[in-house]
Structure 1
Amino acid sequence: MTTWGRGAVLGLGTVLLWLTALLGRAWAAGPPGVDLPPLVPTDGSDRFRAYTDPGELPRLRLADGAGELPLRHTRVRARITGLVAQVEVTQTYDNPYPEPIEAVYVFPLPENSAVDDMRMVIGDREVVAEIQRRERARRTYEQARRAGHTAALLEQERTNVFTQSVANLAPGEPIDVVIRYVQDLSYDAGSYEYVFPMVVGPRYVDGAPRGGRPSGTGTKADTDRVPDASRVSPPVAGPGTRTGHDISIELRVDAGLPIRGFDVPTHAVTGGLEPDGTLALTLAEGATIPNRDFVLRYRVAGPAVRPVLLLDGDDQGGCFNLVVQPPDVDVDGLVGARELLFVVDVSGSMSGVPLAIGKAAMREAIRRLRPVDTFNIVTFAGHTGLAFDQPRPANDQWIREALAFVDGLRAGGSTEILDAVDVALSTAPGRGRHRYVFFLTDGYVAIEDEVYARTRRWIEVLAKRGQRARVFSLGVGSSPDRELLASLAKAGDGLELVLTTREEPREAVDRFYGAIDLPIWTDLEIDWGGMVVTSLHPSSPPDLFATRPAVLHGCYEGPPAAELRLRARDGARQVQAIAPARRSTVAPGVVTTLWARARVEELRRTLSIEGDRGQVDEITQLGLDHRLVTPYTSFVAVDRTRVVGKGDPARVVQPVEVPEGVDAELAGAEVARRSMEMRALASESAVYDFDDDSIDGEHAYDAPALGSRRSEREEPRTELERADAKGGGCAHRRGRDLAELGLPLLLLGLRRRRGGRRWLSRSRGPRRRSSTRPGARASRWRCPRTAPEHRPSRTPR
């Protein structure tokens, strides 16, 4: 074929891509033939559609057609007793390739889970994992991989993000990796709630790239702010495809009291109440794509949760759970004057469904304000903005203006959440008022510990001034980052709430106002009745909300008390309650495991503020002593009975589903092709190939907005340690899609091209396009990091 002919063919292909892009807009809801029901009824013309079942979606496959991806199925079996869930997760891997492979899968578990067991099952062989220090476990795994032994390694990246690596999967031989964990259930406004997260959402990664070898196999570069970004950024399946990974869930609930009713707002289920009074549920067929969190809520007959001391031990000692619940009171007059700040995430990952349901929740929350309240609205993305120059009274005029402001919100840009924390908390509340900060976000950032530390420091600064603020978080979407939500709420002495894509926004708003419309117990004191308590977590007594009990974990020596006496204040009144002692009904050792997990969490939170090496050592020892996966301890299992291959297996990084309702590219996620390259790599490279339909596209996480400026806010007070200066923002630059680039691409295609683009590199980490090759086009921008400009504050005082 002549040079001109090759160019014409390329040009014609480009035109077809152009037309495909145009048609793709009409297919935004999904491929033809797939029934996609509306997600959420909203006012106006907003309607949303998203994938709810496998349907006819094509699966991602290996590029040479050898087979599908290694992770085939996840089976979840949960047994719930009282306020504790015991869960077993089985991941089934299979190798469709004729050579041994290594599979790497980044997946979520609940943010409060205590992972205390892992086993690897190969045929009739079961290998029980050992708990080791993280570095040693990685060495053990790498040695087994190079020796040709089948091995599995489980590492914790965040409290709710884990990496499973399985080396030397033999061709055609399935392997099960069984993970077990326990967790405290949540209880809110009369309902118990169990959540199983299914997908790791795309996180915004801040900071300057560190260079060198990446720490993981993800799609983001490690940075000075997020040194493990490549470990929490798995590739995602593109629009109209699925990973081929399905999930099944089996639940049994033994509440100890008759179950009055249950609701699963996120999925279709089968089953119901059994003759013995337990609740048995199974995920229905057609709801098996792991692209949104599974949520079960249920109520029991009889009185609400009451204070109780649950013991796991004897007269020599043991551990306990102390459940503290304020009694029902009717004292609306004690709520006091309030100042509410609604902080709304309008970054790129909130585009579409998340922002739409968030705006619906905002409208409901604004209409529910009391006439004596004052309020303001803060928005954040690449920069931070305010609806009003100062908090306004909740009268008809300002409510109308606020609703109009909410209607005009649009999503796009990076997620500079620390700026929003500063704006919301750096100024004093109005005279005589308590400030309630209401963060509405999907939580897709990778700096959860920084968010906790910054929020906590501001709360302490305000307390030193004799002022009070509380931070509540409302997670929006099908799979919000619940660790970020918990970080905000715990640091801010508030509560975390979630509004899924399958719920009415009014329900989440009801839960928020249900918490702040009733008095809050403060200054909790416990009379232990002679019981010798050796450890209690949290170590500082928490504030208690009328709608949600607190669970304290502790250990004791000698005989336990028959009952405890609790005293606290709700406003100006002294209140008290009695907590009788009972034996725990969960399996022996579970309460002790939950205590160890609570101790680890408190140490980790303190570490994010103080940075004491001794806390790392104590977390590590707790993990080793109690067989817990922590940031510094991992499970590793090695089958040394045989050798598979030559010790150089090809690595396949398992992509994950896009969270339902999220635009993957606007969220900054790398999208996998429908077929993926796989080969043996001497340098432990990730073997991945990414779509190029993002040419000059709108990537919310990487490109600076021209002329943008960070929010103008008050400098942190001297009591608050100044955060490291950040650059002038990396908000997205407005890009062009394929349809807009059609003619230039056509002309480019008619030109003679030398060589061709190579899509795969030999370096370790995700296979990225290189901007240094002839003819390559950069699809990302990097913004220079400059010192932020500080100007006089315009935030409300």
Structure 2
Amino acid sequence: MRDCCGLLTLKNEPVPLKGITVQVKVQGFVADVCSTLSYENSESSPVEAVFVFPMEEDSSVYDFHAEIGGVKIQAEIREKQEARDTYDDALSSGQQAFLLEESDESRDVFRLSVGSLPAGQKASVCLSYVTELAVEADGALRYCLPAVLNPRYTPAGSESLTAPVSGASGGPVPYSLSFSAHLASPSGVAQVKSNCDLTPLEYLGDDKTQAQVSLSPGHMFDRDVELLVYYSHPHQPTAILEGGLASATPGSLMGDPLVMLSLYPEFPAAASTPQSSCGEFIFLVDRSGSMDCPMSSEKADPKRIQSARDTLLLLLKSLPLGCFFNIYGFGSHFEAFFPESVAYTQQTMDDALGKVKGMGADFGGTEILEPLKDIYSKACRPGHPRQLFVFTDGEVGNTKYVINEVKKHAGTHRCFTFGIGEGASTALIKGMARAGSGHPEFITGQDRMQPKVMQSLRFALQPAVSNIVLDWDVPAGLEVVPVSETPKVLFRGHRSILYAQLKGKFDESALGRASLQYSLGDEPHKTEISFKLQPDKHTGLTTHRLAARTLIRSLEEGGSVEGEGGDKVKERVVKISTEARVISTHTAFVAVNKDLNQAVQGPLIHRNIRPQMRMRSSKMLMQSCMMQSCSIPKIRVRGGGFGAPANFQPKAMRLGGASAAMPPMVMQQRCAQMSYCAVNKCDETGPELEKEDPVLTLISLQRADGSWELNESLVSVFEKTEQEAISKMPAEVSDRAVWATVLALLWLHGFRADLKEEWEFLAKKALSWVKAQAGASLKSCLEAGNSLLGSKVEPQTLSL
């Protein structure tokens, strides 16, 4: 049988998706995205196409329309069940209809239904959304066009958000992607990077404040499209004032002007360095079967579990003496390395490292809720603030329950999350970090996980910020009503985006001022910005839509997932959503072609979008099918038309595929027919082994107190023999560990300075140890070490 994917006909031919066009406008820290999907039904019967797609959790969908036969059909936003009933009624009467809805379980999964597309008919569906851009460790703004939707593991007895699709395999996709981006920043666009091939960056003026770039032809749709945008002055505070909608009610969110603040608190250098050895660090690591997959579709990419092991090695070596730690592995069940968190010593570190080396992706499903409850059931240690680090590929179905559990215990810990591999749930990763006042990171493709984890460790080791207050100074007669909550936690260099509504009359030539005040220890600090009270004419309603989404999210997360105050919350969410035309959990977009003069004739066939797949091994197939039921999508045939499902039940859909906002998805299925490794001929032998990373080798040899022993394993990293190293050791040095530690520091600074973000903490620990031990011999050690290694590291480089 020939390989096919996408929408399949009864003859196994791919229809109807023909092409996707994506246009992105990046203005400062916000992206406005318009995606158009083109369809053509070449069957002899009308078709209903239904498919699920991923979208960034922070996205605010504000427009949805379709065109059929030159007629534009504008969608209306309605309460979700009402929208479903409208869609159902339209199909039942033979009309053409479209339905776009957000999942009830996770904000980053959407479903699009294209109903009653007549035989031979062409149609296009256009979706627009705005989203805040995440800031990377190096200051880049990250925009991601998701191409991957992982099936979400759901505990027994619950409905699955995504599920396996049978009959698809890894052939080429039968449709095209056109992707272009327009970039604008007053501070200037410095450069753009991507994991995909791009056309050269084209500046639209000499000041380099605007530029454009496109995706090169031939993109294979096998990964997320990721743009990293670098501005000339990325950490400069900004304020954008946006006028209200003239047709909206004065005093409403949409009717009044809104201001968006982007603030970067800068801590004094002395306060931003790691302060002490206090802290309880708990590492929660996904060991489900999906962690055995590569980081991306690239054959040479390491497996996710291997990246997690390497990162745990670095974290354990970087912890300060005197802290406490523990490591949990979770899947269908969970295990802790120690019954309680243990003091960080040489012995406990060695015990933990031995167990880390044996960690595999062999725990079945992805049930994260139970280990979280176990962690929270244990009392915190006085004087040692708890820091939770979560590593997962994010294939979880009960997202809201997990986030709610973190939120209930936010007062006792901070939660830092890491989405590993393409398709990790942005709703889970961002939601847990937000609920736990931490920081989220995403690691895909050939990204090194270590620098991103080290940034979060820096955040965790920063001193606690207290007394956080946001003050406004505006002219008399003007009232500032906050839309977003004042931050509960601040990190050095971490951006905070805040929204506020301006009520009353004001002079547009006047100035407003916002200041974020906070305390570090006993020292007060302040970040402030002044702005003109003159609306920006180039933003449209971007700020209002993002503010509406922020308000909706805070309302939805305000109560428990069991529905406390649910009716009142839902009523207010629906009101804000419909007024702002921003989709929510409780609303959906529906469009009906009311200009159609006659009903669509013939039996209507239900079609699921089927994706190009990245398969799993047959062993994993057997394990997964025992954990989670596998079913084949049903083809529903009805005369004239038929209704949509009464509820959004992805189990009945078994969907994956091209999205309204992104290229076709690569569904990473549990119950697949072939394995990724079988396709790539690497199942038995594994990928070609690369030479072991010398930095990780050096890190693995460091002792808990920061020192190294002088032995053959260490000097082999320097490409020397043990005898060579001993012969060059200064005569006045009596402790060989001092000499070994100096050599390790010189090698890191002299030959691996490009990876300083990864080894900075363990080097500081080593330097502290060697200063206490070396005494007067330190100078001669540096000179002899540089001579042996061929390096030229100056004493000031080591802060000596």
TM-score by length of structure 2 reads: 0.70
**In the TM superposition, what is the alpha-carbon distance from 1:113 to its structure 2 partner?**
0.8
Equivalent of 1:579, from 529, 537, 548?
529
Q: Single out whichever of 502-511 and 434-443 deviates more from structure 2.
A: 502-511
The residue aligned with 1:405 is 355
**Aligned-residue identity in percent:** 23
Query: Is the contact between residue 8 and residue 607 of structure 2 (CA under 8 Å) also seen in structure 1?
Result: no
Q: 2:425 aligns with which of 478, 481, 487?
A: 481
Does residue 159 (structure 1) correspond to residue 107 (structure 2)? The answer is yes
* 1:533, distance to aligned residue in structure 2 (A): 4.6
Q: CA deviation at 1:481?
A: 0.5
Q: Deviations over 1:39-73 (max 9, x none)?
A: xxxxxxxxxxxxxxxxx965467464262133333
Match of 1:545 among 491, 509, 515: 491
Partner of 1:179: 127
Question: What is the CA–CA distance in structure 2 between the aligned matches of 1:525 and 1:167, rounded to whole Å?
Answer: 51
Query: Which SS does the other structure have where 2:265 is aligned?
Result: coil
Do structure 1's residue 263 and structure 2's residue 193 form an aligned pair?
Answer: yes
Q: What is the CA distance between 1:136 and its match in structure 2?
A: 1.8
Write the distance in 1 (CA, Å) between the matches of 2:526 and 2:449: 35
Q: 1:77–1:249: 8 Å Cα contact kept in structure 2?
A: yes
Separation in 2, partners of 1:417, 1:687: 25
Letter in 2 for 1:295: E
Give distance in 1, aligned partners of 2:146 and 2:310. 24
Q: 1:452–1:488: 8 Å Cα contact kept in structure 2?
A: yes
- CA apart distance, 1:242: 5.6
What residue ranges of structure 2 are gaps of 5+ in the alignment? 245-249, 295-303, 646-650, 656-668, 672-800
Measured in 2, the distance between the counterparts of 1:521 and 1:245 equals 51
Q: Which residue among 143, 149, 152 is the counterpart of 1:200?
A: 149
Q: CA-to-partner distance for each residue in 1:727-767, whole Å, 9 max, x for gaps?
A: xxxxxxxxxxxxxxxxxxxxxxxxxxxxxxxxxxxxxxxxx
Amino acid corresponding to residue 488 of structure 2 in structure 1: P
Give the direction of change, closer, same or farther, for the CA distance of 1:549–1:392 in structure 2 (3 Å limit).
Answer: same
- Which of 110, 119, 132 does residue 65 from structure 2 map onto? 119
Q: Please give the secondary structure, in 1, of the residue aligned with 2:243.
A: strand
Q: 2:387 aligns with which of 433, 436, 460?
A: 436
Q: Which ranges of structure 1 fall in alignment gaps of 5 or more residues?
A: 1-30, 32-55, 209-222, 463-468, 691-698, 702-797
Distance 2:450 2:6 in 1: 38
Partner of 1:352: 293
Which amino acid counterpart does residue 345 of structure 1 have in structure 2? D
Structure 2 counterpart of 1:615, from 554, 563, 569? 569
Deviation at 1:621, TM superposition (A): 0.6
1:326 aligns with 2:274: no
1:397-476 aligned within 5 A: 397-412=347-362, 413-460=364-411, 462=412, 469-476=413-420
For residues 148 and 394 of structure 2, what CA distance do their matches in structure 1 show? Answer: 13
Root-mean-square deviation over aligned CA pairs: 3.2
Query: Relative to structure 1, is the Cα distance of residues 700 and 260 closer, same or farther in structure 2, using a 3 angstrom cutoff?
Result: closer
TM-score (norm 1): 0.71
CA distance, structure 2, for counterparts of residue 429 and residue 102 of structure 1: 54
The separation in 1 between residues aligned to 2:185 and 2:80, in whole angstroms, is 37
Letter in 1 for 2:215: L
1:450, CA displacement in angstroms? 0.6
Distance 1:58 1:580, change over 3 A: same
Read off the aligned partner of 1:655 and give its amino acid letter. R
Secondary structure, in 3 states, of the residue corresponding to 2:637?
A: coil
Could you say if the C-alpha distance between residues 99 and 429 of structure 1 is closer, same or farther in structure 2, counting changes exceeding 3 Å? same
- Matched to 1:379, the amino acid is G
Of residues 588, 596, 600, the one that matches 2:552 is: 600
Q: Equivalent residue of 1:608, what SS?
A: coil
**Paired residue for 1:295, among 212, 215, 226?**
226
Task: State the shift of 1:139 in Å.
Answer: 1.8
Question: Residue type of the partner of 2:357?
Answer: D
CA spacing shift, 1:324–1:149, aligned 2, 3 Å: same
Letter in 1 for 2:49: A
Instruction: Supply the AA of the counterpart residue of 2:354.
Output: A
Specify whether residues 136 and 648 from structure 1 end up closer, same or farther in structure 2 by C-alpha distance, changes over 3 A only. Answer: farther
Residues 67, 267 of structure 1: CA spacing in aligned structure 2 closer, same or farther, 3 A cutoff? same
Query: Structure 2: how far apart are the matches of 1:476 and 1:561?
Result: 45
Q: 1:259 is matched by which residue type in structure 2?
A: V
Deviations 1:471-522 (A, max 9, x none): 0100001110010011211111101111113212223223323433444533
**Aligned partners of 2:7 and 2:554: how far apart in 1?**
43
Q: Deviations over 1:436-457 (max 9, x none)?
A: 1000001111111111111111
Q: Residue 436 of structure 2 aligns with which residue?
A: 492
Give the letter for the 1:80 counterpart. V
C-alpha distance in 2, partners of 1:270/1:428? 55
CA contact (8 A) 1:325 1:544 kept: no
Distance 2:10 2:602 in 1: 22
* Number of the residue aligned with 2:30: 84
* Paired residues for 1:330-729 under 5 Å: 330=269, 331-332=271-272, 335-336=275-276, 337-353=278-294, 354-412=304-362, 413-460=364-411, 462=412, 469-519=413-463, 521-530=465-474, 532-533=478-479, 535-558=481-504, 559=506, 562-582=512-532, 583-584=535-536, 586-609=538-561, 611-612=564-565, 613-642=567-596, 643=598, 645-646=600-601, 648-658=603-613, 665=621, 680-681=637-638
Inter-partner Cα distance in structure 2 for 1:660 and 1:299: 35
Query: Any conservation in 2 of the 1:81–1:256 contact (CA below 8 Å)?
Result: no
Partner of 1:282: 214
Paired with 1:687 and 1:338, the residues of 2 have a C-alpha distance of: 47
Partner AA of 1:159 in structure 2: R
8 Å Cα contact 1:476/1:501 also seen in 2: no
After superposition, the Cα gap between the structure-2 partners of 1:251 and 1:662, relative to the gap in structure 1 and judged at 3 Å, is farther
